[in-house]
Chains A and B, each alone.
Chain A
Amino acid sequence: MLALLPQAIIDGVLLGGIYLTVAMGFSLAFGVLHIIDFAVGEWIMLGAFIGLIFTKWLGVDALLSLPVVFVIFAVVGWLLQPLLHRVLSGSRGRPVLMGLVFTFGLALAFRGSALTVFGIFTHSLDTVLSQGSWHLDWGPFFLTVPLIRLAGLVYALAVILGFNYLLKRTDFGLAVRAVAQNKEAAGLMGVDVNRTSAAVYGLYVGISAMTGVFIGAIVSLNAGMGPDLSIFAFFVVVLAGMGYLAGVPWAAFLLGLIQSFFLIYFNPSHVLLALFSILYLILLISPTGMFRKGV
C-alpha cells in the first residue's frame, strides 16, 4: 500500500499541473474582466478537437498543433470579448447574472456543435511522447512517470512563468493589472481598456485551448468532456479564493493530489462526488477559499 504512495504523489503533482493551467486562465479572466466563464471546459474541449483535426489532417505530432490552436482560439476569444462586454455592461436586467447565463448558453451551444460535428466517440491525440515514460527505481519504490504527463507539467509551469513575466514585467501586464484594479481609472490614465480586455480574454481562451491539446494527449477527448473540466476549473479557483491568483497553484496541486489518491486507493467513479464533498466542506469552513483571500 505504502509502496504506491510516491506514485500517487507524482501522479497528483502531474494532474495538478493540468488543473493549474485550466484554472490559471480562468482566474485571470475573472480577476481582470470579472467574467465567470461557464464555457471554460468547452474551450478546452474545442482546443483538443482542433488539435485532433490539425494532427490528423497534416499527419503531424499533436504537440506541433499547439501554436496553431493558440492562435486560432486567441483570435476567437479576442473577437468574442466585446460581446461579453456588452452583456456585462447592459443597463437592463442584472448584468453580472446575465453574463453568467450568457457564457452558460455559449457553453451549451459549443457542446452541441462539437457533438454534432464530432459525434459522441472518444478520441485521443498522438504525440511522440505518448508512449514513452520514465521509470524510476528507487529502493522499494518503482515509479512510472509518463512523459506526456511530464510535458503537461512543463507546459503548466511555462504558462505560469509566462504569465508572471507578462503581468509583472511588461507594459501590457501593467495595463492588465490596472484594468483589473480599476477600469475607469485605468482608462483615464490612457489604457485602452477595451483592447486590453479583449486581449486578456483572447489569451485566456488560447491558453485553455492549448490545455485541451494536452488533456487530449494525456487522457482522451470527447465532445462531452467540457462540463467536468469546467467544474474542475471552478473547484480550483473557488478553493484558491476567487480572484486570488497566487493561491491557484496551491489549490490546483492539492486537488490533483486528492484526485490521484482517490484514483489509486479508492474507487475512481466516485471521484467527482468525493471532490465535490471536499469542496463543500472546505467552503463551509472558509467561503473565501483556503487562504481566506478570495473575493
Chain B
Amino acid sequence: MRGRPAWLWILLVIAAVGTVPLLIADAFFLRLFTEALMWIGLAITWDLMAGYIGYLNFGHGVFFGVGAYTAALLITKGGWPFWPALALGGLAAGLVALVSGWPTLRLRGAYFAIGTWALNRAVGQVALVLDFTGGPDGMRLPPFLHPQFFAYVMLGVVGATFLILWLLLEQAPFGLKLKAIREDESGSLAIGLNPAWLKLQAFVLSAVPTGILGGVYAYWITFIDPSSTLGDLITDQAVVMAIFGGLGTLIGPVIGAVLFFSFKTYFWAYLSDYQVLYLIILGLAIAATVFFLPDGFWGTVANRWEGRRALRKGLSLGQAAGT
C-alpha cells in the first residue's frame, strides 16, 4: 500500500487530539472535550452492531449503565482503586452481553431491537428498586476533580477503542464477515461463516468499551443514577449520532458524534429551559436523517467520491479498450 499504514495515521490523529488538553486548560472546555469523546465512543460501538451487522441495539445504554454501576459500587463500597474498577466495569458489561446476547441474537433484527430495549428498561427498573445501588437517588462517588486527567482517560479509552475496532473491522477479515452476515445471513452459512458465533463476538465487543466508558463517566461526574446511566437518552443520542454520521463505517459515527454534540452544546446554551424539547429534536433528527439522508453525512459524501472514482475508472477502462 502506498503511504503510511492506516493505524499510524490514526495514532497521529489521536496524538494530535491529545495535545489539546495541554494547550487549553479551561475546565469548561475540557468538560465538553471529554464528553464529546465519550459520545464518539458510544456512537462507534453502537455502529458496530447496527452498521456492520445490521442489528439495531436499542438498549445499548445498558452496557454503559452496567459499567457505571459496577465501577461505582467497587469504588465506593469495595474501596477499589479506579483502574481495576474500570476494567471490571467493562467486564461486567461484556458478561451482560454474553448472557443476553446468546438468546436475543438468534432473533431477527427487529426482535433483537425490542429485546435489547426491554433489557435496558428492565435493568433500569432493577437499579431503581435496589437499595444496594441507591435506588432512584443513585450513588455518589468520591470527588476527584481533575479535568485534564479525565480528558486523557477518555481520549485513551475512545482512542484505543477506535484503533482496535479499526484493526478488527477494516483491516482484519472480521469486519467483512460481519458485513456478509448483514447482507445475507442465510447465504453466509454456505461460505463457511458461523453467524451466531460472529454476532456474539461483535456484541460483546460492542459492550466492553461501552462499559468502560460508563465506569469513566461514573468517576468523572461523581454521581450516577438510573435515569442518567440506564435511561433511554444514552442510546437515543448514540443512535442519532451514528445514523447522522453514517452507518457501516467507523468515521461516520465519529463525524456524527462531533457534529451532533456541537449542536447539542449550542442548544443547551440557549435552550436549556426546554429540556424536553431536546427529545423532540432528537426524534425528528433521527427520522429526518433516515428519510433524507439514509446513508448519513459521511455515507453520502463517501458515495459521491466512490461514484466519481468509479466513473474515472470506467472512463479509463473505456479508453484502454478503444486503443
Contact = CB atoms under 8 A, between A and B. Distances in A.
Q: Per the CB under 8 Å rule, do A and B touch in the complex?
A: yes
Interface of A: 36, 38, 83, 86-87, 90, 92-94, 96-98, 100-102, 104-113, 115-116, 227-228, 231, 234-235, 238, 242, 269-270, 272-273, 276, 279-280, 283-284, 287, 295
B54 A112 contact: no
A100 B113 contact: yes
B266 interface: no
Interface residues of B, number: 50
A115 B119 CA distance: 24
A83 B291 CA distance: 8
Scoring B118, B122, B125, B286 by chain A CB atoms within 10 A of each residue's CB, the highest score goes to B118
Contact of B109 (A38, A83, A97, A102): A97
Contact of A273 (B106, B107, B126): B126
Interface string B282-323: 111111111100110001000000000000000000000000
Contact of A87 (B111, B243, B247, B291): B291
Contact of A92 (B109, B277, B282, B295): B295
A101 B243 contact: yes
Nearest to A267: B129
A13 to B, nearest CB: 24
B276 A105 contact: no
B283 A109 contact: yes
A105 B284 contact: yes
Contacts of B108: 295
A283 B103 contact: yes
A111 B274 CA distance: 14
23 contacts: A87-B291, A92-B295, A93-B290, A100-B56, A108-B283, A109-B279, A109-B283, A109-B287, A111-B283, A112-B277, A112-B278, A115-B276, A116-B276, A227-B117, A227-B232, A231-B118, A231-B121, A269-B128, A270-B125, A272-B122, A276-B119, A280-B103, A283-B107
B110 interface: yes
Given A106-B283, A273-B126, A97 B54 contact: yes
Contact of A269 (B125, B232, B284, B288): B125
B35 interface: no
Contacts of A113: 280
Given A97-B56, A100-B113, A287 B283 contact: no
Contact of A102 (B103, B113, B121, B286): B286
A36 B122 CA distance: 21
Contacts of A231: 114, 117-118, 121
B118 A102 contact: no
A183 B57 CA distance: 30
Decide if the interface of chain A is mainly helix, strand, loop or mixed: helix
A272 B50 CA distance: 26
A295 B107 CA distance: 10
Nearest to B291: A87
A104 B58 CA distance: 9
Q: Which of A93, A108, A272, A295 has the largest number of chain B CB atoms within 10 A?
A: A108
A287 B295 CA distance: 31
B185 interface: no
Max count, chain A CB within 10 A of own CB: residue among B54, B119, B122, B182:
B122
B60 to A, nearest CB: 12
Given A87-B290, A231-B121, 15 more contacts: A92-B294, A100-B109, A102-B287, A102-B291, A104-B56, A109-B279, A112-B280, A112-B281, A116-B277, A269-B125, A272-B122, A273-B126, A283-B103, A283-B106, A284-B106
Kindly name the residue among A38, A101, A272 whose own CB sees the greatest number of chain B CB atoms within 10 A.
A101
A273 B283 contact: no
A56 B294 CA distance: 42
Given A92-B294, A93-B294, A283-B107, A106 B287 contact: yes
